[in-house]
Structure 1
């Protein structure tokens, strides 16, 4: 199992990363604003099940890779740094889309379709697999026990944090959309703060020692 002090660090990182805009968050906000909170919660449930799908696959993948390839950690660390820097750039890139500027002409979908689209949005999102593959190994150490067990522990922790944060977003999406529409400066501040946090995380991982 991952030690509690290291797990706290991972939880903080997972919390910061879930705040970065992506297809899942955009879909949740769109549905919450256009179809209501209930639709947003159903969509979120589908997304979380998509997380679980990735967690199982990546847990087996990380286990096999770290045992089969001695320098796999270095490769994954490089991918992790590149991924975090990519997210930082996406946060502040010119002409970036405001995640609260959603399409208000979406059709009204049934609960089963909301769940299905949420699930597929999560499963087919390559950014999720990239996050698990490149970021999880930074917190996994063979001396702490089974690599697969640690991977599952981190995955469940990340999914729980993601669900909690996105649940709050679903409940407050309409109010946040109005807030950022009337106070665009705060949206810019949020983007630059997020970019700074992601960049600092990338630097920390880049200089971390191999296991």
Structure 2
């Protein structure tokens, strides 16, 4: 069991990181603004599912093996960049109009959840981030390392739910303004497309 002071320190750090501008929260921001709060929360749940997989991989030692493979890193980052480019293409060609009438083009909760999962798992930098962060709060003298890793991972997921949930709520408010402005809808779609392309380019340039 993690000591209270370690858990509180780690949780505070994870919460601060959740609000720090980065690919994941920017992705949540754009998805929530274009698809709505409910859809944004399903993206957040998908991202947290990805974090669960990363936590399990680190606890089992699989992440270290992945990090040692340049080929795995390259394949994963290209897959992630291709997915982001696909999302950019989708949002750039999305029709605009009264949201009530255009509801049929809105992505389903399952689709949004899968987007979050794929976004998280296809980013190899998350593996390196977890490998660098979690072990700093582990002490072998306190018991099984794998158990401590799992606890830290769960705390990180909780902080992600809180911070990204707040971002989703804020971004969802923007969606209300779109009901009154086709121009704003079109501008937001273009902005989202540019953001996704930028995230794809950033991922392609990532180094191990």
Which category describes the TM-score, using the shorter chain as reference length? 0.5 to 0.7
TM-score by length of 1: 0.60
Which residue in the other structure is 2:140 paired with? 142
CA–CA distance in 1 between the matches of 2:158 and 2:165?
A: 10
Equivalent residue, structure 2, for 1:133: 131
Do 1:28 and 1:40's aligned partners in 2 also have CA atoms closer than 8 Å? yes
Q: Structure 1 residues 106, 175: CA separation in 2 closer, same or farther (over 3 Å shift)?
A: farther
Deviations 1:44-77 (CA, angstroms, capped at 9, x unpaired): 1111111111110011128989xxxxxxxxxxxx
For residues 15 and 106 of structure 1, do their structure 2 counterparts lie closer, same or farther at Cα, with a shift above 3 Å needed? farther
Q: Which structure 2 segments of 5+ residues have no match?
A: 66-89, 95-105, 178-208
Please tell me the root mean square deviation across aligned C-alpha atoms, in Å: 2.6
Q: Per-residue displacement from partner, 1:60-113 (whole Å, max 9, x unpaired)?
A: 128989xxxxxxxxxxxxxxxxxxxxxxxxxxxxxxxxxxxxx97474322222
Contact 1:37 1:170 in 2 (8 A): yes
Q: Distance in 1 between matches of 2:2 and 2:62?
A: 15
Structure 1, unaligned runs of 5 or more: 66-102, 179-211
List, as ranges, runs of 4+ consecutive aligned residues in structure 1 with deviation greater than 6 Å: 62-65
* Distance in 2 (alpha carbons) for counterparts of 1:158 and 1:152: 10
Instruction: Answer whether contact 1:32 1:39 (CA < 8 A) is retained.
Output: yes
TM-score, length-scaled by structure 2: 0.61
* SS, match of residue 166 in structure 2: helix
